[in-house]
C-alpha cells in the first residue's frame, strides 16, 4: 500500500470535470485506488464516489493505492490533482 497527501488547487475542487479526469486516469491502473477526505473514503474509479466527498479548493486529500502498480498510480493521481487549476 502506498499513500500520499496532496492539496487540491482547483477553484471548483474535485467537481464534475476534474473528477471525470481523475476517474479516467485512475481507471487506467490495475491497483485499487481510493481518496480520503474529512474522514470519508471513496474509490477513485467511481465518479459518484469522488463527487460524494465534496472536496473543495485548498483541501488536503490522501491518495491511497494498493496493487501491482500502486506506486505509479499514486504518483500519477497526485500529479493530476496538482495540475488541475482553473
- From 4, 9, 15, 57, active-site residue: 15
Spatial contact of 80 and 21, defined as CB atoms under 8 Å apart: yes
Cα 57 vs. chain centroid, distance in angstroms? 13
Q: Report the SS3 class of residue 5.
A: strand
**In the annotation, is 15 catalytic?**
yes
Catalytic residue positions, numbered: 15
Amino acid at each position: 500500500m502506498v499513500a500520499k497527501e496532496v492539496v487540491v488547487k482547483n477553484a471548483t475542487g474535485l467537481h464534475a470535470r476534474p473528477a471525470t479526469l481523475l476517474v479516467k486516469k485512475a481507471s487506467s491502473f490495475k491497483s485499487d485506488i481510493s481518496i480520503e477526505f474529512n474522514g470519508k473514503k471513496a474509490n477513485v474509479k467511481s465518479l459518484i464516489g469522488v463527487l460524494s466527498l465534496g472536496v473543495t479548493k485548498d483541501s488536503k486529500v490522501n491518495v491511497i493505492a494498493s496493487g501491482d502498480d500502486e506506486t505509479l498510480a499514486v504518483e500519477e493521481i497526485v500529479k493530476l490533482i496538482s495540475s488541475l487549476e482553473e
